[in-house]
Structure 1
């Protein structure tokens, strides 16, 4: 045998000569039993249709291995892992507590569970951890089958049979061997890495489960088996923390995994507050994929987290050096992704490469545009997109139905493949063309008014940003038009400073008086107005109007007039602003633009409210509402409802005003400034309707958000709100008014929306909105009640002792308490009240 192998004979050739399976020959020859084992196989009767059942019974009677009875090693031989034994686990699983808790009851109720997810997400590791916790519950035993080394689907069945029988081959069918192995006892087979032999796995598992009623199967794969009775359990990337420092950044499972693995190569690794934020960003850039995070963490022996973050775009070259014992596909991030890519057919690879240019996800129309020229129908495109999602190379958006996205690491790999295929220039041109057409429809209202372009703009904003960056790099003349759409989005999302910087840069680089430049000038004027720089906003608005009039472009004229009217209104030039609004209305009545007409009528009504002409405003609001469809044009409808609420307030109809403000706030509009106006409106109603503390909380949150976003309210509106706030403060004891303002300042955007709409106070802050303590002050008071010193409180909350003392002093002032002991008594009494 050895000489034959040295002469170059393959295992398959030797197997034919010896009349036995090639896998068995290879395994037996390398097991230490050698020719003796091979001779035994040749000397035994070949299984036939008539003797299979008898042979199985004789084998079991003679002690042939079953699930629970793996073959023993030869006398004197060292212990070794048998075929079918799970791999030994030598590291700690981090961040999968929820998945483990969910998976165990699923396995108890379902006989086929498939763990799916992208390469490196930790499917195998999760299966191993789960197995360690449930193995004892399977009386018939557990067998682990690693399918990764198989290059041919025909090897799946014999590999499973060998694992079930602890290295031996069955005398009959695989189904019979498994059935005899588990008998009447429950048993579990784990099929690890099914994706490259997925059809063979499906063809084996379904009849196995039918033949063996006490058998369960746990599979790991980058795509589902798609057979009867399968329950798919998606293994998603680890959660990464949002923005924040210190304890917030440390809280994510991804960061915890990074720290744990970093300490395995550098035991002295310490996560400071500043470093925690950097590590959290690294984990976010790596999509929360455990393999990528582990590879990055091991680089901390040579590179700081800051350097890792700087080199994130080179991740495929940087993240190498996996454990020597790990499979090849886990030795580097590139290998893990390449394994999945190589399993795609040529058509799927083409679509994957082209989708990799989109950082913000996509829907079928954009995907079809990028793949134009490939001869794909809409139906075929959808089939390919869902196939890539099934193979864990795309992620289906859980919020926007029919939308997909690609993890950033996959995008990096895909763009490399795009360059290698010499397709990059073509795909980017198709992207710019599609985005330019979309931008024109958005900015000049040339599309069907039933289409919610504002909502689509918000979904496409990251792709649009990428398109602007690409166009700017190429010096493309479409850059100003693309930039106008992007800055329009940023203005609505409450980041006008960012919009201002981009608009000024693009206008400086593209001086030609184009439609795109006119549109970009209007968004620059809008950004400056939102930031309170009204005088600076005049010039770009007037330039836009000049270009529009020269080109005799009606909708562009309307757009430019809109920018100019806002500027004049903010400057207090009310008569001029009203005249401009009237010009817009007259022009729009000649065009078929009902949504746009409603928007301008609303602005005209708002302007009339500003100067005390509420009666005139009412007619315009009623006409605007009649033109708007509640299913579309959400921003226009939300703004119009807000103006209607303003009319109700001037007439002292506070309940009606609250209804309008609430309706406007519940709409899924992306207009950040509009939401602030509605929050302030609800605060105004509350403060004038006997709820001063609620009003002050809402107003305080809105003020905090305005300051962070550099958004300035109209002067007349701000004066009205502040007058009501001053009355509310006078109606309350100073401590309660201060507490309400402090409470509101701590609320996040989502928390204040829930409080405004549902009066739902966030859990984990004060249990009751009427409490006079902020959440941090509550924490300090409770720790004081537990007997902790200021130094100990500081250590517990990761703050300085001076800050702890400051919080304690604020608690005593707010509660009108004199000593630390009084705080202890107050906390005890409050806790007693809570329990009641």
Structure 2
């Protein structure tokens, strides 16, 4: 019978019959044997003989496998990944493990190391299938067949023939670089795993296979040093040093600059190796400077590397070319975000809608999911919220794509509109029970808020600039961004604002915020001008709540300038307006400010009564900031009343609350008053520590009024520790600050301040006192805590206050 006739009768191909007859194929599947036996009309004995012969051939024939290649370099910094992924494969915890991650993260090198480490656990070893050279999806199966030593003749049955060849063998097949042929790789893998019970597959791919039973191990970048102590132990630093040394430029004396480079590269191994290669023409410091502005210099990989491994651009471009048009659109648009984004933000930028609907969110979710699976977007989860971001090198590539298609300005506008909406939504929650959550949310978006503000100011988008700056001033106050928030407001309100009735409320709010942040930095004249302008605008708008808020802030300016009568009158007017509106929060704040004025002028009884009422109201309202302030006031009143235990309890409560909220002014004030409590108890070392921390906070915030008070208290401690000249120096520094800002010593603090000055003047001769006092008055605030240098000696940073 001819091969053609037998093939026709059996329903097989002629090539399949020829392969069996010529010995190219020696392990036919049971189904093939059954078809042949039926076509030949074999009886039971002959069927058994044929089957036994096939089994003998199948058991004795072992085609040579393509072994994993030896690694060219030592695998650096992957001990944890090798152990974890190796356990999953070696202990058969999963039959399909996909090493996933962006291009250049080191998936192939890790796959090689895993295969080498666990091959002995498979009776038939490990087989390496490189798919990077495969350009046609139809060539995936032949590539696998070739790797296991099979040369199939029937192209239509190649996967079946691979399954027959593997059979029950205990084998690990490594499919390296699957992303560009992932559909076929996934289909073939699923069929082989179903047919071959002892087969395990390890894949490396930028995109997941998404087949049943797949486990995913996301390969992270190498760890970068977070502190100087971690420099020598950082895998990223070690990789750079190793590769640079191999190029003949050993940079061990430039470890700090190496750390700067690898932090910028976020620990990406390919990027680090390409950067190290540039040490043949640049110093490490020059390399770090270049990378701050662009990653374009990262090229020049090894001559044997594929084009996508020759440069960082090529590695990312390889992934980009595999995207659909819709995926490319989202990928480019997401580069507008700085520091990550949420699903709502992605939907807003993608759709151009400030508040995207369900359909827009669904589309953004689908595309985001695809890009995560393709390792171009990362996802993190915190407190029930998913957040997305890109590696810096990928984001730069995406931004170039956005510019190339001419959509960068549209994307920036949509981005700004979303964050304006977020800022204005958050504003209504910043004085209630959810205050802390909303402050944290805005803090998490601070880089995006800065980018949106920068775009609005750069493009002179008046409405966007005024609304965003005005919506953020309360956040800037609570989180201590006084100077930055004030600058935004000043620049926004200085734009060419047309007479737009719709913009009027936002302008009034922006003037209020500008006045408040100027006040917090003790720019009292500027604050008064801005606040009076805001008051006039709110009066024109007939906005009672706005007028009440401005009066409250003007009362604060008068209070710090020592004009307690004016401050009290303004706070009373503010209270009346809030009362007319039934605004419980506003009334509580008026009580708090009236109590503040009372204790500053020395009327502790009235201050306590007012502040207790405010505290009870704030507790009921859930206003963390207000509660912290009332506790500070009550603690201070107790401290000046000599009730030190009660004072400490109240101030520790305010400190804990302020720290939990991230409310820096509250932290600074609490530390200040706790330092006074410790000084009154005689624990001067502890007092110095607390006051020094308080001074640092107030100085960083730009609050010179409070800095002066802390310096005067430090002078009292210094005098008690017999550091009399330094005490005179500190008193002079405080006096110089007060003269510049035009704020006197508060009445309640005068006895301590004046007592310290008298003691210092009595202990020093007149010349020594004047020298130290004058040196303090001219010393920059940042240098005051370094110690009094003496009449002719420059400040020495080693002379710390604690000494």
TM-score w.r.t. length of structure 1: 0.69
Any gaps of 5 or more consecutive residues in structure 2?
Answer: 1-12, 35-50, 723-795
Q: Deviations over 1:590-624 (max 9, x none)?
A: 55766566555544444444343212211122112
- Which of these residues, 388, 392, 395, is aligned with residue 408 of structure 1? 392
Is residue 597–residue 624 contact of structure 1 (8 Å, CA) maintained in 2? no
Map of 1:58-69 to 2, 5 A cutoff?
58-65=56-63
* Counterpart secondary structure, 1:50: helix
- Which of these residues, 65, 86, 89, is aligned with residue 71 of structure 2? 89
* Counterpart secondary structure, 1:125: helix
What is the alpha-carbon root mean square deviation over aligned residues? 4.5
Tell me the residue number matched to 2:663. 671
**CA distance, structure 2, for counterparts of residue 468 and residue 807 of structure 1:** 38
CA deviation after TM superposition for structure 1 residue 141, in Å: 0.8
Cα separation, partners in 2 of 1:566 and 1:447, compared to 1, 3 Å: closer
**CA distance, structure 2, for counterparts of residue 446 and residue 706 of structure 1:** 22
Is residue 449–residue 595 contact of structure 1 (8 Å, CA) maintained in 2? no
Map of 1:119-138 to 2, 5 A cutoff?
119-138=103-122
Q: Deviations over 1:201-235 (max 9, x none)?
A: 44444454455554433322224334444433222
* Counterpart secondary structure, 1:616: helix
Map of 1:67-466 to 2, 5 A cutoff?
70=65, 84-109=66-91, 110-111=93-94, 112-165=96-149, 172-182=160-170, 187-206=171-190, 208-209=192-193, 211-242=195-226, 252-265=234-247, 267-272=248-253, 276-312=255-291, 315=294, 317-372=296-351, 376-399=359-382, 401-442=385-426, 453-466=438-451
Cα separation, partners in 2 of 1:654 and 1:445, compared to 1, 3 Å: closer
Cα separation, partners in 2 of 1:542 and 1:299, compared to 1, 3 Å: farther
CA deviation after TM superposition for structure 1 residue 60, in Å: 4.0
* Counterpart secondary structure, 1:51: helix
Cα separation, partners in 2 of 1:457 and 1:590, compared to 1, 3 Å: farther
CA deviation after TM superposition for structure 1 residue 120, in Å: 1.4
* Counterpart secondary structure, 1:352: helix
Is 1:627 matched with 2:621?
yes
- Which of these residues, 467, 471, 480, is aligned with residue 481 of structure 1? 467
Cα separation, partners in 2 of 1:358 and 1:640, compared to 1, 3 Å: farther
Map of 1:613-692 to 2, 5 A cutoff?
613-628=607-622, 634-640=624-630, 642-643=632-633, 645-646=635-636, 652-654=645-647, 656-657=649-650, 660-661=653-654, 663-665=656-658, 667=660, 669-680=661-672
State which drifts further: 669-678 or 346-355.
Answer: 669-678
Cα separation, partners in 2 of 1:86 and 1:471, compared to 1, 3 Å: same
State which drifts further: 696-705 or 361-370.
Answer: 696-705
CA deviation after TM superposition for structure 1 residue 414, in Å: 1.9
Cα separation, partners in 2 of 1:205 and 1:423, compared to 1, 3 Å: same
**CA distance, structure 1, for counterparts of residue 229 and residue 629 of structure 2:** 39
* Counterpart secondary structure, 2:386: coil
Is residue 598–residue 627 contact of structure 1 (8 Å, CA) maintained in 2? no
Pairs aligned (count):
678
CA deviation after TM superposition for structure 1 residue 358, in Å: 0.8
Is 1:586 matched with 2:586?
no
Cα separation, partners in 2 of 1:227 and 1:411, compared to 1, 3 Å: same
* Counterpart secondary structure, 2:31: coil
Q: Deviations over 1:275-333 (max 9, x none)?
A: x5544344333333222222222223233445444544764643222222223222222
Map of 1:708-719 to 2, 5 A cutoff?
710-712=702-704, 714=706, 718=710
* Counterpart secondary structure, 1:319: coil
Tell me the residue number matched to 2:558. 568
Is residue 645–residue 660 contact of structure 1 (8 Å, CA) maintained in 2? no
Q: Which structure: larger Rg?
A: 2
Cα separation, partners in 2 of 1:718 and 1:43, compared to 1, 3 Å: closer
Tell me the residue number matched to 1:545. 535
Cα separation, partners in 2 of 1:181 and 1:550, compared to 1, 3 Å: same
Map of 1:4-19 to 2, 5 A cutoff?
none
**CA distance, structure 2, for counterparts of residue 483 and residue 492 of structure 1:** 15
**CA distance, structure 2, for counterparts of residue 701 and residue 469 of structure 1:** 33
CA deviation after TM superposition for structure 1 residue 337, in Å: 1.8
Is residue 286–residue 293 contact of structure 1 (8 Å, CA) maintained in 2? yes
* Counterpart secondary structure, 2:169: helix
Is residue 177–residue 205 contact of structure 2 (8 Å, CA) maintained in 1? yes
**CA distance, structure 1, for counterparts of residue 210 and residue 589 of structure 2:** 50
CA deviation after TM superposition for structure 1 residue 367, in Å: 1.9
Tell me the residue number matched to 1:761. none
**CA distance, structure 1, for counterparts of residue 405 and residue 292 of structure 2:** 20
**CA distance, structure 1, for counterparts of residue 522 and residue 430 of structure 2:** 31
Cα separation, partners in 2 of 1:483 and 1:92, compared to 1, 3 Å: farther
Q: Deviations over 1:551-596 (max 9, x none)?
A: 4444544453444333222222233223333333333345576656
**CA distance, structure 2, for counterparts of residue 380 and residue 448 of structure 1:** 34
**CA distance, structure 1, for counterparts of residue 200 and residue 223 of structure 2:** 30
**CA distance, structure 2, for counterparts of residue 352 and residue 219 of structure 1:** 25
**CA distance, structure 1, for counterparts of residue 666 and residue 674 of structure 2:** 13
State which drifts further: 514-523 or 420-429.
Answer: 514-523
TM-score w.r.t. length of structure 2: 0.72
**CA distance, structure 2, for counterparts of residue 174 and residue 123 of structure 1:** 26
